[in-house]
């Protein structure tokens, strides 16, 4: 079982959910949550979830550290499910 399959266990299936793998983390986008779209940085230990579609912003990040910096700059959009 790969990293993304492990993460998907227990999640509500959504045909619209996307995962983009990077070195040591993934970006998950789910447009169909109970609070609207969510974009998450997913590591083996944590989920950093922002409300809304942030895929383009994360695409510009060069590393996990850059993604976390963007996340911290936008904590006003942090999901209640976020670590």
Distance (Å, whole) CA 49 – CA 40: 4
Q: What is the DSSP string of 5-71?
A: HHHHTTSPP-TT-EEEEETTEEEEEES-SBTB-EEEEE-SS-EEEEES--HHHHHT--SHHHHHHHH
Mean confidence (pLDDT) of the chain: 86
Domain definitions of the chain by residue range: 3-77
> How do residues 10-37 score in pLDDT, each as one tens digit?
455 566 788 899 999 999 999 988 888 9
């Amino acid at each position: 079982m790969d990293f993304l399959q492990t993460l998907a266990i227990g999640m509500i299936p959504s045909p619209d959910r996307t995962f983009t793998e990077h070195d040591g983390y993934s970006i998950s986008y789910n447009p169909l949550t109970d609070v609207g779209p969510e974009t998450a940085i997913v590591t083996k230990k944590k989920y950093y979830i922002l409300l809304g579609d942030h895929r383009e912003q994360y695409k510009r990040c060069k590393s996990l550290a850059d993604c976390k910096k963007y996340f911290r700059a936008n904590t006003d959009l942090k999901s209640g499910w976020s670590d």
